[in-house]
Amino acid sequence: MLFWVPIVFLALFFIYPLLAIFWVSLLPDGQFALEALRELLARPHYMRTVWFTIWQAALSTFLTLLVGLPGAYVFGHYHFRGRQILKALTTVPFVMPTVVVAAAFRALLGPSGRLNQLLQSLLAWESPPIQLEHSLWLILLAHVFYNYTVVIRIVGGFWANLSRHSEEAAAVLGADRRRVMWHVTLPALGPALLAATLLIFLFTFTSFGVILILGGPRFSTLETEIYRQAVVFLKFPVAAALSILQIVFTYGIMLAYTHFQRRITAPLRFQSQQMTLRPVVTRRERILVTANVVLMVILLLAPLLALVERSFVGADGRFTLAYYLELPVNRRGSVLHVAPLQVVVNSLRYAAVTVLLATALGALSAWHLASEGSQGKRRRWAGWLDSLLMLPLGVSAVTLGFGYVVALGWLRTWEGLIPLAHSLIAFPFVVRSVLPVLRGIGPHLREAAAVLGASPGRVRREVDLPIAARALVVGAMFAFTVSMGEFGATSFIARPGATITLPIAINRFLGQPGTLSFGQAVALSTILMLVCAGGLLAIERFRYGDIGEF
């Protein structure tokens, strides 16, 4: 009976808001109408928005693969000092909230960013030489920065466990290195490459904070257009029609991704990484590994280090703690209406509630799915339930937030709506973290406990729970990190003052003129970055190998 709790939660706070979006778009006055959809087709602006959303996501995906595949090759073939630490560092940008990523790139490449300041001082130029503010190149660079680790984790991890016997056999038969790559390695890597490609495309297709902050008013995707139509212009039917269009796209991408993710487990010859990874010996290998390590450090760490450094540098270029000392102060006319430090407290409170709620819902779901039979109708039922519980991953947070405005507008003044939204987004990550571990528990352990007289409840407490405890910690940290960085849905339901979260505050400070506003934005971003990085370290510490990854 407890399993119905997550099902009811999903129905109330996910399916019902999505149905409300369909109702507003297709039945605005209680009668079937297609005016909103016709407006999308009639106005070139909306079609340009759809086209830009698609091609910027495709270009971002291509550039991420282009930059990431050499790194995946290095991580999939070589064992070198600091490999695990570096692999963990590549994941730091991925768990960063998009507003933090945007602030980091502005701190590094903005008109008053660290790189422009350095070049101006070296070349004695009056104007900044790098003009990337509100440009497509800055959006693409941020997307590569954000999704680089997807290639490393999915393709590199798959490559590292792929047996080299087929490649060695092809080489013995006379195939050169190029033919081995094209005819042996790439076909074996195909499912992993396609899964990584689709996942990166999904992330960039639904990118919100990067487009909104770094792109500015010049660029608009489906995500930002839904936000503007609903919040700025109050055109709910048009926003609903755009949401329906986005749902169709994202669900198609998710279906393709899950298909290729299943194919990754196709019958191939796998070996332990201890057998497939080799030390760096030759000069060519040292150059290859060193070049990729340098690229990773520059691409992934430079923006984050610039963010931290900028939070301690005043307008005169000297070290200062002024921006941090301003955080407890609630100035008159502040864009937040509360002290910035109160915003940090808000986010921590919401994250704590999200951890409790998402972990409980995810654990109940995972235990039920793991206990289903392995044959016949029960297996099909479990597969259907698994897909149902993953549905929140197929809808963007912006669409979800808009659905809350449409369906649960009467609850917008309730502060508890924010952690509920965060829990809905986070609990699929808990399921994905815990379920593989529970399914991996040998049935003989449960059978032995039952033979010794243990009840089903005692088996769960004394057999399943100790084994799954680390996975539960990983899921809880995922929930904490997701809640701390959630921006899309919260931007719809947060009220001025009491319910503002860290990402909302950072975005509002970035939108204000003045050195103090930008300084407080980077100070809050640094705090949020450190909190999320701490969550990542906990995830890496307690994870069972690569179980529960993406």
For the residues 255-267, what does the mean pLDDT come to? 58
For the residues 27-42, what does the mean pLDDT come to? 71
Cα end-to-end span (Å), the chain: 29
pLDDT digits (tens, 9 = 90+) for 159-197: 777 666 666 666 666 676 677 766 666 777 777 788 788
For the residues 109-117, what does the mean pLDDT come to? 81
| Token couple for 58 | 């495709």
Q: What is the pLDDT of residue 547?
A: 47
Average pLDDT taken over every residue of the chain? 79
Contact predicate 150/90, CB 8 Å: no
CB-CB neighbours of 28 under 10 Å:
15
Over 50: is that where the pLDDT of 256 sits? Answer: yes
pLDDT digits (tens, 9 = 90+) for 412-464: 778 888 999 999 988 888 887 787 777 766 666 666 777 667 776 676 666 67
Q: What is the pLDDT of residue 166?
A: 64
Contact predicate 25/240, CB 8 Å: yes
14: region left, alpha or beta (phi > 0 left; psi from -120 to 50 alpha)? alpha
Residue 354: pLDDT band with limits 50, 70, 90? very high
Can you list the alpha helix ranges (DSSP code H) found in 298-442? 302-310, 322-325, 340-371, 376-389, 397-407, 417-439
The percent of residues above 90 in pLDDT, for the chain, comes to 7
pLDDT digits (tens, 9 = 90+) for 213-229: 888 788 888 888 888 88
Over 60: is that where the pLDDT of 548 sits? Answer: no
Write down the architecture of domain 322-550 according to CATH. Orthogonal Bundle (1.10)
pLDDT digits (tens, 9 = 90+) for 303-348: 888 888 888 988 777 888 889 988 888 877 677 778 888 888 889 9
Residue 260: pLDDT band with limits 50, 70, 90? low
Contact predicate 481/536, CB 8 Å: yes
The percent of residues above 70 in pLDDT, for the chain, comes to 81
Distance, in Å, from the CA atom of 179 to the CA atom of 314, rounded to the nearest integer, reads: 56
Residue 364, exposed/middle/buried by CB under 10 A (0-12, 13-18, 19+)? buried
Distance, in Å, from the CA atom of 253 to the CA atom of 222, rounded to the nearest integer, reads: 15
Task: Indicate if the alpha-carbon torsion angle 368, 372, 378, 384 is positive or negative.
Answer: positive
pLDDT digits (tens, 9 = 90+) for 379-393: 555 556 666 777 787
Residues forming a β-bridge with 78: 278
Q: What is the pLDDT of residue 32?
A: 67
For the residues 50-67, what does the mean pLDDT come to? 93
Place of tokens 């959630």: 486
Can you list the alpha helix ranges (DSSP code H) found in 390-514? 397-407, 417-439, 443-451, 456-459, 465-485, 490-493, 502-510
Which pairs count as long-range contacts for 84-88, CB under 8 Å and 24+ apart, including other chains?
86/293, 86/296, 87/152, 88/536, 88/537, 88/540
